[in-house]
Amino acid sequence: MNLVECSYRFRFYPTAQQAELLNRTFGCVRVVYNRARALRKAAWTEHKERSGFLQTNAMLTALKKDPAFAWLKEVSSVPLQQCLRHLEAAYQRFFLKRARYPQFRRKDSRQSAEFTKSGFTYRNGTLTLAKMTEPLAVIWSRALPGEPSTVTVIRELDGRWYIACRVVASIEPLSGGSTVGIDLGLTSLAVLSTGEKIANPRHLSKHQKRLTREQRRLARKQKSSRNRTKAKLKLARAHAAVRHARQDFLHKLSRRLISENQVIAVETLSIGGMLRAKRHSRAIADASWGELLRQLTYKATWYGRTLVQVDRFYPSTKTCSACGTTGHALTLADRAWVCPHCGAHHDRDHNAAQNILAAGLAVTACGGDVSPGVPRHPGQSSMKQELTP
């Protein structure tokens, strides 16, 4: 059994009093976060001093003593403390060059507030937050495997309310299965080494007409009017429909690949670099390769599977999977080609998936630090082979 920390998300329907308290909590969290971020920025730019959680926590204590900020005491202090910890974590990710510089929180964006165990009560399947007298009307679509350690309340832009409960769950590792290589693309979202082609659902393209219509209606509304608020809500719900459909499809696909295969080989992609290419950026963002790889990564860890990432500069497309010769001259229009050395007929994507699987198995046999990629030459593009003009 593997003990993993995971999050279960449920929808809930707050009463008018609960919604009013949570909205005030979101506002207090936003104010404390933005003032702490401004404090840290000013301390460095003006005095070249580093500020951390201790300094921002002292700032929060001083704010609560200020009569002008007495409304901070009307909500639970737990989410205010947690937002300072989130700011500290955001700065640490920035220093490690894993994220951009922390930005201010906006009022018209997605709102959230995190409660630790001291800020909520979970008993007999009911959840009651601090400062509330009644439990939340949560739709428990499945039972929690244990008592949550933290509960995050979320209000999406489309007006829906959710809670995310972080718990420690016991997951039984999967056994058996085969090996597979995956070549990601746009014509087909994924082509497996077995020859199966998974069609690209193109969720954004299917809803583009609705999104365009709602965006135009929003642009015609007068600012700060009720009609503009209603139009903004309709647009947010249209975007949510795309997001939910994409997430549902990717979760089902990643779960299926993990269940059927013991070893999964994928290529390492520079998705950020590819998104800078205007020609394919929208299609790449709609395909969500990065989200698919993220789901495969943590699900492989949960269920005891092996996920191997092959170097992005490995010439999987221009290598013959039958004889191993490489360097064949191919253009983007060549979806099928014949090897001039052995005469083998190849489908472009299927051949790449087979080469990715062979390279992944070589990495598995030689060790986790071995990469079958070729050296990168100066000026070599970080774009995917299939997308390079």
Identify whether the C-beta of residue 380 lies closer than 8 Å to the C-beta of residue 271.
Answer: no
Active-site option among 158, 183, 286, 386 = 183
CA 184 → CA 277, 289, 362, distances in Å? Answer: 17, 7, 20
CA dist., res. 271 & res. 284, Å (int): 8
Handedness of CA 141, 152, 124, 18 (dihedral sign): negative
- Residue of 274, 289, 204 whose CA lies nearest to 244: 204
* C-alpha to C-alpha distance for 61 and 220, rounded to whole angstroms: 45
The token pair that represents 164 in the structure block = 């995310």
User: Of the residues 114, 214, 267, 386, which is catalytic?
Assistant: 267
Q: Tokens in use for 128?
A: 């009651």
Active-site residue 260, yes or no? no
Instruction: Report the Cα–Cα distance between both ends of the chain, in Å, rounded.
Output: 48
Distance between CA atoms of residues 137 and 132, nearest Å? 12
Query: Annotated catalytic residue: which of 114, 158, 349, 386?
Result: 349
Give catalytic status of residue 156 as yes or no: no
Has 66 been annotated as catalytic? no
Burial zone of 191 (CB within 10 Å; 0-12 exposed, 13-18 middle, 19+ buried): buried
Positions annotated as catalytic residues are 183, 267, 349
